[in-house]
Amino acid sequence: MRIPYCVRKGGTLYWQPVPIDRNEATGKPVYHKGYEPRPLGADGPESQAYGLSLYHGLDKIRRGGMAHTEAPRWPRGSVGDGYHRYRLTAEWQKKAVRTREDWERAWRYIGRVFGETRPATVTLEQISEFRSAIADAISEREAHRAIKIWRALWQVLAALKLARADEDPSFGVVNTEPQPRSAAWTEWQIAWIGKHAWRHGYFGLAALLATAWDGMMSPVDARTVTPRQWAQDGSKRAIPIIRAKTQARAFAPLTRRANRMIEAYLAKVPVASLDGPLFRTRRGAAYTKNSLAEDFREIRRRVFPGDSRVISDIRRSGSLEAAAGAVDPKALADALGNSIAQSKSLQRTYTPAQIATVSQVPEARRRGRRAMRHES
């Protein structure tokens, strides 16, 4: 059973939520009261039920379910007051969990500096200094996120009649987004890592890599694939998924090689549940964000010492191959489950994602690999 924020280590289940702040004096992470990290006991029904109750409680807080008396007492009409009021609305509840986490992550900076301040008194100079301080002390990416959330929050404050929508002082601040990652893998490199993983007993990792490579899947989408999803298409040309990040419907294409790898994996690790995660660690536990990253780093270190590329770079690698192979934009958009194709909203309305379209992607990627090798 996969429970958010719960990690299995050595037969013990641990509660490890995302911190909401960091203590300025000690540098230690700060968590919602009563939801601090802790061991839950031996992995089993009782500890799983405990972890599930903690997750539901924390999710209720993030959805604005806390009592007014438990909330920070921000001055009336302040930025903090507006943020708190917004979290009690249905609009906050509609946000994806990852989006709410982004807001909370940015709020730990915004609230500390501007929480008790009235929006109308915030100046351009203050916002500029605020951004620079975060960029210098933490990173440019964190600074960009803080201003991005500030601008979204300002529109909320305007809707709550606490500010004027056209008077956001951050409009005068350049908030250039950091350059995204550009690292990419080649087919033989991922295949080589997969072979080493298999030889060293990381059967679940090897099968997951083959699936992620073919399907151009993000790590979270790959590690949450179930046996039922894999078998849903009788010919096993693609895996129907709901993207964890966007909740968009997509189909991850598969080749015969990936299917053979999954079949070989299942011969060694029989399915315990059709609806549980398909790929598992050497200890039989479902892969989590941390355990997948740790296993991948371990094999990558053995195969490519000093390499810093990560498993999430697989998704970009597949897109580059497909683009080089002149893939149909609609087919690639169906495989990725995003708006990479133009007029995506119309395509979703009139031509929803289909296995028949995404099955074009592997051949386009093969053409792309040949073209890329020729250019190099």
**pLDDT tens-digit series, residues 64-83:** 554 333 445 788 899 999 99
Dihedral sign, Cα of residue 112, residue 114, residue 118, residue 121: positive
Q: How far apart are CA 270 and CA 213, in angstroms?
A: 23
Q: How far apart are CA 367 and CA 321, in angstroms?
A: 8
- Of 192-201, 214-223, 351-360, the poorest mean pLDDT is in 351-360
249 or 345: which carries more pLDDT confidence?
A: 249
Confidence class for position 299, pLDDT limits 50, 70, 90: very high
Whether the Cβ atoms of residue 144 and residue 160 lie closer than 8 Å to each other = no
Q: What percent of the chain has pLDDT over 90?
A: 34
Tell me the whole-structure pTM to 2 decimals: 0.56
Whether the Cβ atoms of residue 230 and residue 239 lie closer than 8 Å to each other = yes
Whether the Cβ atoms of residue 277 and residue 223 lie closer than 8 Å to each other = yes
Structure-token pair, residue 204: 């679940």
Q: Which pLDDT tens digit goes with each residue over 168-218?
A: 999 999 998 877 667 888 889 999 999 999 999 999 999 999 999 988 888
Structure-token pair, residue 222: 């790959």
Question: Which residue type sits at 122?
Answer: V
Q: How far apart are CA 128 and CA 64, in angstroms?
A: 30
pLDDT confidence of residue 336: 66
pLDDT confidence of residue 353: 46
pLDDT above 80 (res 356): no
259 or 330: which carries more pLDDT confidence?
A: 259
194 or 276: which carries more pLDDT confidence?
A: 194
C-alpha dist (Å) from residue 61 to 116, 260, 374: 21, 45, 55
pLDDT confidence of residue 169: 95
pLDDT above 90 (res 324): no
pLDDT confidence of residue 47: 82
3-state SS, residue 253: strand
DSSP character at residue 303:
H
Structure-token pair, residue 146: 């803080």
55 or 206: which carries more pLDDT confidence?
A: 206
Q: Which CATH class is domain 187-375?
A: mainly alpha
Whether the Cβ atoms of residue 236 and residue 290 lie closer than 8 Å to each other = no
- What's the average model confidence in pLDDT over 348-371? 60
Q: How far apart are CA 203 and CA 147, in angstroms?
A: 43
Whether the Cβ atoms of residue 253 and residue 327 lie closer than 8 Å to each other = no
- Of 36-45, 114-123, 242-251, 340-349, the poorest mean pLDDT is in 340-349
pLDDT confidence of residue 360: 66
Mean pLDDT for all residues in the chain = 82
CATH 1.10.150.130 is right for the domain spanning 65-179: yes
Q: What percent of the chain has pLDDT over 70?
A: 84
In the chain, where the domains are located? 1-62, 65-179, 187-375
Whether the Cβ atoms of residue 13 and residue 48 lie closer than 8 Å to each other = yes
Question: Which residue type sits at 235?
Answer: S
249 or 155: which carries more pLDDT confidence?
A: 155
- Which among 82, 165, 155, 69 has a CA at the least distance from the CA of 118? 82
3-state SS, residue 26: coil
- What's the average model confidence in pLDDT over 140-144? 90
Kindly provide the residue ranges of all beta strands, DSSP E only, lying in the chain, ordered along the sequence. 6-9, 12-15, 21-22, 29-30, 38-42, 238-242, 249-253
